[in-house]
Amino acid sequence: MSFCRIPPMPQSLAPRRLLLPVLAFCFLSMLIVDRPLALFLKARVGEGGLALGHALSVIGEAGWWYLLAGGLIAVGAVIAARTRVLAGLALVRNGFYLLAVLVTSGLLVTALKAMVGRARPRVLFHDGVYGFDPFVFSSNWNSFPSGHAQTICAAMGTLMVLYPRLRLPALALAVAVSLSRLMVTAHFLSDVVAGAFIGWTTVVVLRPFFKD
């Protein structure tokens, strides 16, 4: 792993190339996939699947990744003060990069949740309502985008950029945690895709500010 140099970003993963496909996918998913998929998962996922989904969802809670960002900053500061200045400062930079990605993407998702006002799957299950009611400011109406998908993809995306050797396990964890939100029917498919895209986009957009 390199602590001093961030490797180049593959152009195929640039958000500008993914934006239109993601928007189209989310729109079509809202129209024809989200509702029947949620009802299917509600009926078919058993207790074991729900337990696994809830366990994975815990990993997507933002607190863990804020702790990691703070840990990188603290450890880097100690290393810089005691022994290897450049390596320590690089860790501090990486910690602030992760922190900035988490905060920025989290604020964006929070704002979109309020503006979009999408009913969560549980509203569909309990009341038969599938739709939107912007600026309701209720947990039942903040399904889009998924905050857990945003958080885990922001965190894992940052680690993938900083430490290329972690790309496969980081990607696997991001996918598993994101899919867990479907397993526990906390979100619709398009919610998860949108949250993941916002997390990854923030990783890429903020990257130039944390280069050497």
The amino acid that residue 155 corresponds to is A
The amino acid that residue 205 corresponds to is V
And the tokens for 11?
Answer: 């152009």
pTM, entire model: 0.91
Helix (H, G, I), strand (E, B) or coil at 132: strand
Whole-number pLDDT of residue 180: 98
Residue pair 146/187 in contact (Cβ under 8 Å)? The answer is yes
Rounded CA separation 92/70 (Å): 9
Rounded CA separation 41/105 (Å): 28
- Over residues 18-33, the pLDDT tens digits come to 999 999 999 999 999 9
Contacts of 8 (CB under 8 A, 6+ apart): none
- Does 17 have pLDDT greater than 90? no
151 CA to centre of own chain: 3
For range 29-41, the mean pLDDT: 98
Whole-number pLDDT of residue 12: 55
Contacts of 191 (CB under 8 A, 6+ apart): 34, 118, 143, 144, 145, 146, 149, 181
